[in-house]
Chain A
Amino acid sequence: MFDASVMPERLASFLTRHDGAREATVVAYERMVGGYSRLMAWAEVHWSDGTHERVVLRGDPPPGQSMMETDRDLEWALLTALSAVDELAMPAARAYDATGEHLGTKCIVLDHVEGDSLQAVLNRVDPAHGYTDHARELVDTMARVHSIDLAPLHGVIEVPDDWDAYLGRLIDRFRQAEHGHVEANPFLLYVAAWLDAHRPPPLPLRLVHSDFQPANIMIAPTHDGGHEHQVIDWELAHVGDPREDLGYYNVYSSASGPNLFAADPEGFLARYRERTGFSEEAVNLDTMAYFSSLAAITVYAQVLGGAGAMAEGRNSGLMTTYTLNALTVGHNNFLAGCTPPPGGAA
């Protein structure tokens, strides 16, 4: 994937070998814009039986040039397991070059979704008209992710069984990120102490996407002329507290709007509770603020790790330097979510 000029031939050979019955010809191949953590490309494939289709490639960047390190083997296993879940619409995971022998890097081949991302759609909406329908659909999609039976995921990803211990480990990731970084970061120790002291009521542990935001939701047409949300980019998915996705969505969309939660916070949460069956004691504005601080740690720790690797000369690349500002966005959200004691600013 590092050399686009050789990719049509290599991809065609890989797909032909994987299909086993038909021969593939790649007639177009182009890098895609917008993938931050992985290399992305699409390819137009003509098959020897006369059919043709477009596929998407999702591969690891060159060593030392990734803004975050995640495991393609794990992602492929998860995508394969999730493909069997009827409640969840997502592009089919088609093939995997687990060694990089064929495509130049570890690479997953997915179905291409004929449609825009929700982010692209939202960018075209006139704010004066509001985002009500989009907010409802976004909540429903998130609720579907959080309603998936975890049974197919056992043996694929870790499935913790104790909420309190899980939350403690999640909070501790702030301390681990601080201790593992190349310089002191007092924000992280402050937030960890605050989150420990203000634990919310528990919820059942569920599948958490961890990067739940509109650029990772594709609007796909359906056979009945309607559309459906297809969720992509599962590299950070794990089993955890479902409010992590609520909080992360709020954090992300505050930095890259529009923020559909902020438009009607109570309505947004009420619909989420209705769709999931979770209580108002567990899902409310206070717990939303709590998880807006807590949930960002998954992506934050990855970005911080990239920054530390660059400081130590183990990483380079524009994406690492560009996303340093995401750490500042994180610090803003940490302080906003961790309210001061009485006597401080509101």
Chain B
Amino acid sequence: MLSRPTTEQIILDCRHELLTTIDAAVDDPTVKVAIQMMENVLRNCAARAAHEIAWMRDETAAMVAFATDVAAAHPASTAVDAALAAYEAGRSESLHLDDVCATYDLAGRAMGAALEVVMAAGDDARHLTGRAILEERLAHENEIMGEWAFVGRA
């Protein structure tokens, strides 16, 4: 396949065309708002295209490690055990996006179950560890979001 220009570059080029050529030719205020929204969506897609597989793989590793640690520290946590078993049964090393998403989902379910266990147990140390993983996930979301506000609302 042709890898250059990258998907990110192609999408950002479309965004540029949208803003410079199409927006300039439009007068309808409702369409102008739609163009602003599309600009934002294209920017989001460009950031995702550039990083999403790597980010999901990194987060998957962190979430599974966390859940595994919680399961070891709280032996009665059957929900975490079940979620980890589901992860092991369903995980894939494939880098196709749908496969990465499916593995990420399974890891996220183990993470969620583990967070519920540490919160219920008052396990502050692991609470902080889990929270740090959420903050890393949020940092990725924020990078995708970039500058964002409700356009057209006044």
Contact = CB atoms under 8 A, between A and B. Distances in A.
Interface of A: 31-34, 36, 116-117, 119-120, 123, 178, 183-190, 193-194, 197, 215, 255-256, 318-319, 321-322, 324-325, 328-329, 331-332, 335, 340-344
Closest 3 CB pairs of A and B: A184-B108, A193-B119, A341-B124
A343 B154 contact: no
Contacts of B34: 318
A183 B105 CA distance: 5
Contacts of B125: 343
B38 interface: yes
B131 A335 contact: yes
Interface of B: 29-30, 33-34, 37-38, 40-41, 44, 63, 101, 104-109, 111-113, 115-116, 119-120, 124-125, 127-128, 130-131, 134-135, 137-138, 141-142, 144-145, 148-150, 152-154
Contacts of A178: 112
A184 B41 contact: no
A321 B154 CA distance: 21
Given A34-B152, A322-B41, A343 B128 contact: yes
Given A34-B154, A189-B116, A325-B44, A335 B33 contact: no
A31 B30 contact: yes
Given A34-B152, A186-B63, A193-B115, 17 more contacts: A31-B30, A33-B152, A119-B154, A183-B104, A183-B105, A184-B109, A185-B112, A193-B119, A193-B120, A255-B150, A256-B149, A321-B41, A325-B44, A328-B138, A331-B138, A335-B138, A341-B127
Contacts of B101: 183
A296 to B, nearest CB: 14
A166 B142 CA distance: 32
Residue in A183, A186, A189, A344 with the greatest tally of chain B CB atoms within 10 Å: A186
B154 A324 contact: no
B153 A119 contact: yes
Contacts of A197: 119
A148 to B, nearest CB: 25
23 contacts: A34-B33, A34-B153, A183-B104, A183-B108, A184-B107, A184-B108, A187-B134, A187-B137, A187-B138, A193-B115, A215-B153, A255-B148, A255-B150, A318-B38, A321-B44, A324-B44, A325-B44, A325-B144, A328-B138, A328-B145, A335-B131, A335-B135, A341-B124
Residue in A256, A328, A340 with the greatest tally of chain B CB atoms within 10 Å: A328
B59 to A, nearest CB: 10
Contacts, number: 116
Contacts of A187: 134, 137-138
A255 B128 contact: no
B108 A185 contact: yes
Given A322-B41, A331-B141, A36 B135 contact: no
Contacts of A120: 154
Contacts of B153: 34, 36, 119, 215, 256
A293 to B, nearest CB: 13
Contacts of A329: 145, 148
A123 B120 CA distance: 45
A191 to B, nearest CB: 10
A33 B44 CA distance: 23
A186 to B, nearest CB: 4
A328 B113 CA distance: 21
A190 B119 contact: yes
A192 B145 CA distance: 24
B90 to A, nearest CB: 12
Contact of B145 (A186, A188, A321, A325): A325
